[in-house]
Structure 1
């Protein structure tokens, strides 16, 4: 492929004079990494993008509550994705409801407030996986061929749980995760989940801080609508230095629209 044939991605950033008119930038890669010292404004830049383009941008805040209940509250995919993106059962015009409300100033703390949308993120991927499996089941049931259609096999191999498991294991080769009994279930990578081996694993709420941080980003990346711009604030949070380098390509949502890592 000629370099001139490479796809172009466009993104907008505020200029140095904080002018209301943003500057347009172009890149041939779909991930942009912004590096800066503490307090240099990386988080505020991510908040600016989320506020400026609320329907096109999903910001994964570094101030995230990573506690996960033992049993996930299941809901339809639409409700779960709205809870994950907007903090409400229905879509909103902005993401402010995700953040803590500061009563002293009567506004949401979109820069310094913590976010608690881990449970709906996992609920969304469970709902999406259930929908995919139901579709595959119907196709298998209705097939008149002696062998499964190739497209049906491909769908089974790329359903949300399979993709989630592959991404997670690429970051943590020693661990496998599965959707099991309305939650995420973790096991040794050499084992496969079955009724006989289930007792050897553990509930997703008992994952380590680093494992939960990676699962949080992966779940959102797999569930968001196509072509969303994903802003990941501190993707290395809770990750050991030895896994950050191989993990980064996956935690910036490889293969999607432009992603910002700040």
Structure 2
């Protein structure tokens, strides 16, 4: 059924049904709590003649007393006793807006219908002298795909869960919530005759490791059906990679606003969904969740969802990708990256894409800011050591690696200029022109002299702020030479700086001047 087309309806801006088509048999509608997901499910049930809804409010308790009915009665009990016709259903609950709170308890009716269906299939096979896979066979096969180390058997109208390796078994009503939920959903999906199956909260009662495995397997067995999931579980949505996905942007109590989530090669869909779920502006940063970047920015930008991306390339890539889809979410993303020898031209271009560049060379240099060091020294009443500390950084750390810093800066600037050259030429002559232009673009001696003058000027003028802007050498604040002068161990220095930033609003403002105005 690879070429099969499925159609379904969603409400448009006027709350009228709008038809969509897809060639995959699963749709996921994601929304936060309070976004009208259950009411949307009831609306969709009302607007589709061929849709059956498995509600979120489902009771998976199995009572001890079962019953056997013929196929017709069992079918009516399940599909019309549990879920009456749409007109009766809507009248009983005063419209679909209120049809979302009843707890449905129908496990025994479902089992009764499964048993009756099996007998009906066996009867037809006998009449036609054929053999077909019946509903019990399919249930057992799907169960085995979900739980590879346990089986189920039907014994005297009751399912037993069996562990063959340890020869242990127990009745279905003694199963865990997850096991009973899996059995319930397998049987229901196999029984449903309608061609659209709507599932509220597909993750309910299920461990995350089971959820996608179960529904992907059921989709495979019912390729004749379109599965529509309504969920707030972003992991389920992200891991269901091939599904069409919609985001409920807003709900005012009567109308919904949707946006389709398109695949974006510049950002993993799992991350994009996670950020949508945060429902606030985003700040992409370098490092990971244990890094200095994350700890500092979490304090200084509490109003943002902080997302650590690893390297600066990912920060740039994700910030651009998220903002390109702002019509979908109406949130804003920013990025903060280290300065790392970047030219002013490069910094200005990044700024256009909401990428902020530190006013110090790297995030570690924030721990060397004069305002930070002074706050630490004042705690121990040794603020007269500031000059000694700055002299140490200038004379011992900076002066002794000037040539290396100049070379690193030179390499970085040349690399940037080379990356600005467009070599997408269609003829050899044009390509040769590009190559010849490199020497003109990169005047090596002038560039080297300018960089050398910049570093020498910083040293000669003892400009401490400029030193922190150009000096790329991680870990100065963790070295014994520095720590002995501030009277702290590394752990104590880290802890004290972060505590001061949390508690001292004036210090926060001073530090923010070296980061970014967002």
Q: What TM-score, normalized by structure 2, do the two folds share?
A: 0.40
Paired residues, what number? Answer: 229
Could you tell me whether the CA contact under 8 Å between 2:61 and 2:107 is conserved in 1?
A: yes
Match for residue 249 of structure 1 among 209, 216, 233:
216
Where structure 2 has 5 or more consecutive residues not aligned to the other structure, the ranges are 231-518
* 2:19 corresponding residue in structure 1: 24
Q: CA deviation at 1:217?
A: 1.4
* 2:62 corresponding residue in structure 1: 68
* 1:96 corresponding residue in structure 2: 89
Q: CA deviation at 1:175?
A: 2.2
Could you tell me whether the CA contact under 8 Å between 1:64 and 1:115 is conserved in 2?
A: yes
Residues 126/180 of structure 1: CA separation in 2 closer, same or farther (3 Å cut): same
* 1:234 corresponding residue in structure 2: 201
Give per-residue Cα distances to partners, 1:164-215, cap 9 Å, x unaligned.
0111222222221122212222211559xxxxx7xx4222111110111111
Residues 88/242 of structure 1: CA separation in 2 closer, same or farther (3 Å cut): closer
* 1:146 corresponding residue in structure 2: none
Q: CA deviation at 1:93?
A: 4.6
Could you tell me whether the CA contact under 8 Å between 1:34 and 1:261 is conserved in 2?
A: yes
* 1:130 corresponding residue in structure 2: 119
In 1, Cα distance between equivalents of 2:74 and 2:25: 26
In 1, Cα distance between equivalents of 2:87 and 2:113: 19
Q: CA deviation at 1:95?
A: 6.5
Q: CA deviation at 1:124?
A: 0.8
* 2:180 corresponding residue in structure 1: 212
Q: CA deviation at 1:231?
A: 0.6
Q: What TM-score, normalized by structure 1, do the two folds share?
A: 0.76
Structure 1 or 2, whichever has the larger Rg, is: 2
Could you tell me whether the CA contact under 8 Å between 2:62 and 2:173 is conserved in 1?
A: yes
* 1:51 corresponding residue in structure 2: 46
Q: CA deviation at 1:244?
A: 2.1
Q: CA deviation at 1:27?
A: 0.3
Residues 189/242 of structure 1: CA separation in 2 closer, same or farther (3 Å cut): farther
Could you tell me whether the CA contact under 8 Å between 1:87 and 1:95 is conserved in 2?
A: no
Q: Does residue 140 of structure 2 align to residue 168 of structure 1?
A: no
* 2:12 corresponding residue in structure 1: 15
Match for residue 117 of structure 1 among 106, 117, 127:
106
Where structure 1 has 5 or more consecutive residues not aligned to the other structure, the ranges are 141-151, 192-196
Match for residue 28 of structure 2 among 33, 47, 52:
33
Could you tell me whether the CA contact under 8 Å between 1:60 and 1:233 is conserved in 2?
A: yes
- Compute the RMSD of aligned alpha carbons: 3.0
In 1, Cα distance between equivalents of 2:88 and 2:185: 17
In 2, Cα distance between equivalents of 1:217 and 1:162: 15
* 1:148 corresponding residue in structure 2: none
In 1, Cα distance between equivalents of 2:197 and 2:128: 33
In 2, Cα distance between equivalents of 1:249 and 1:189: 26
Residues 117/185 of structure 1: CA separation in 2 closer, same or farther (3 Å cut): same
